[in-house]
Amino acid sequence: MGRTKLEIKKIEDKARRQTTFTKRRQGLYKKAGELATKCGAQVAVIAFSNAGNVFAYGHPAVNTVLRRYEAATGGGGGGSRAVREEIESKYRESVAKLEAERRVEEILGRAAAAAEGGGGRPLWSVEVEKLGVDELEKLRATMEDMKRRLAAHDGGIAAAEADSGDDRDIPAV
Amino acid sequence: MGRTKLEIKKIEDKARRQTTFTKRRQGLYKKAGELATKCGAQVAVIAFSNAGNVFAYGHPAVNTVLRRYEAATGGGGGGSRAVREEIESKYRESVAKLEAERRVEEILGRAAAAAEGGGGRPLWSVEVEKLGVDELEKLRATMEDMKRRLAAHDGGIAAAEADSGDDRDIPAV
DNA sequence: AATACTATATATAAATA
DNA sequence: TTATTTATATATAGTAT
């Protein structure tokens, strides 16, 4: 889908690989959102870059879909029917509230993308003016957690799998 | 991307919505796989149809990516660094083995897609001849679990969220 | 790095089998 | 229904910013 037909194989050039990762990740999110809108589906996309940074998109929210997935698949095999039903009912109770979470994630996702690049705005420069009260509360909680983690010098997870170390040290949230 | 430009809004016609869901879900999987291959990324896609059936794709495997996601995000906020590191190390130990799981999921995914349609082959007619010993072992475990769930008359999770009941009663695995 | 531009490769909506 | 076909809308590779 471009000027040249490219084989589907690993891109060895670091810069091109990074550019392609950004573009295609955005494309994947867009496709996922369209699927959700057009078909009334719930969708989550999770991606780890080659350097180990994490990115995610979800409708209505990543965690909503993941929790529901755990419920539907039995959480790995050990869950009883009762446990799954409990999870499922909790999921139903909270769907409405989670719309706020989705909006926060969208904005955090943009900040994470900036971090992946390295030249972007810091996470705390996020456009908070667009958020409502509930959303600000969620954002505050997220940032407090992040602050705790940074204080504990806990930036090692993303780097653990990196093969090139060219990404930021701080994992995307 | 078709004969007519369609707005990105919910498709009300049930048949068209179903067709679109199948096509776009497949497209999403393909894009996700290409992102993984070209950029050395790990990717998971989870989708619930409007009727409540679950579908997933992952490279190297859905569960691999989900576990890593939980590790990277702290499993919802409460995990200590030590817990996350433990999860992360377990993840590393098992990456190689999970290639087998990925192949099983591909084949199960095809069966699930057939189920979503309703006219497809039953799950047990899957092309098992393509699997190796480890893979067969995984498939056996999956099917035993399914048998247990069916025996307990436990097909209700998928139906719980359905708005139309036009899907199969048996959730995709 | 992210984004805008533009030429080309792909995805997909409708129609058909 | 699930393929195939085909016409058209989109995604994206290369490029420069």
User: pLDDT tens digits for A124-135?
Assistant: 333 444 445 555
pLDDT of residue A72: 82
B163 or A25, higher pLDDT: A25
Contact across the interface for A35 and B28, Cβ inside 8 Å: yes
Task: Give the distance from residue A21's alpha carbon to the nearest chain B alpha carbon, in angstroms.
Answer: 6
Residue A129 is predicted with a pLDDT of 42
Burial A40-49 (b: 16+ CB within 10 A, else e): bbbbbbbbbb
Quick one: pLDDT at residue A101? 52
Residues of A in contact with B39 (CB under 8 A): 10-11, 17, 20-21, 24, 49-50
Across the range B23-42, mean pLDDT stands at 92
B16, B18, B35, best to mutate vs chain A, most A CBs in 10 Å: B35
Model pLDDT, residue B172: 35
| CB B22 within 7 Å, strand D | yes
For B19, the token pair is 């067709």
Closest CA to B157 of A79, A20, A100: A79
pLDDT for B158 beyond 50: no
Omega prior to A60 cis, within 30 of 0: yes
Residue B19 confidence (pLDDT) above 50: yes
Average pLDDT value over all residues in chain B: 64
Is the Cβ–Cβ distance between B161 and B53 less than 8 Å? Answer: no
Mean pLDDT is highest, among A69-73, B20-24, B118-122, for B20-24
Closest CA relative to residue B72, chosen from A38, A149, A71, A86: A149
Q: How far is the CA of B20 from the C1' of C14 (A)?
A: 12
Pick the residue from chain B with its C-alpha nearest to A1.
B31
How far apart CA A150 and CA A170 sit, in angstroms, is 8
CB A54, CB B72: distance < 8 Å: yes
pLDDT of residue A167: 38
Q: Name the residue closest to D9, CA to C1'.
A: B1
User: In the block, which residue shows the tokens 């190689």?
Assistant: B96
Q: CA A115, C1' D13: Å apart?
A: 24
Residue closest to D1 C1′ by Cα = B119
Element (H, E) at B58: strand B54-59
How far, in whole angstroms, is CA A138 from its chain's centroid? 15
Domain boundaries of chain A, sorted by first residue: 14-77, 85-164
List the single residue in B10, B27, B48 with the smallest CB-CB distance to A31.
Answer: B27
Asked if A31 contacts B24 with a C-beta cutoff of 8 angstroms, the reply is yes
For helices A62-73 and B62-73, angle between their N-to-C axes, nearest 10 degrees: 130
Q: Is the CB of A19 under 7 A from strand D?
A: yes
Please tell me the predicted confidence (pLDDT) of residue B109: 56
Cβ-based neighbours of B138, under 8 Å, separated by 6 or more: B100, B101, B104
Residues written for chain B: 173
B65: which chain A residues are within 8 Å (Cβ-Cβ)? Answer: 46, 48
Q: What is the dihedral of CA A113, A117, A118, A122, to 10 degrees?
A: -20
CA nearest to A27 within chain B? B31
| Complete DSSP assignment for A22-85 | HHHHHHHHHHHHHHHHHHT-EEEEEEE-TTS-EEEEEES-HHHHHHHHHHHHGGGTT--HHHHH
Q: Which parts of chain A register pLDDT below 50?
A: 76-79, 84, 86-98, 118-131, 146-147, 149-173
pLDDT given at position B155: 35
CATH class of A14-77: alpha beta
Q: What is the pLDDT of residues B64-106, one digit of tens each?
A: 899 888 888 765 444 455 544 444 444 444 444 445 555 555 5
- DSSP label at A96? T
pLDDT of B52 reads 86
Backbone angles phi, psi at A4, to 5 degrees: -125, 145
- Could you tell me which residue, B154 or B33, shows the higher pLDDT? B33
Token pair for A165: 């170390």
Q: What is the pTM of this model?
A: 0.62
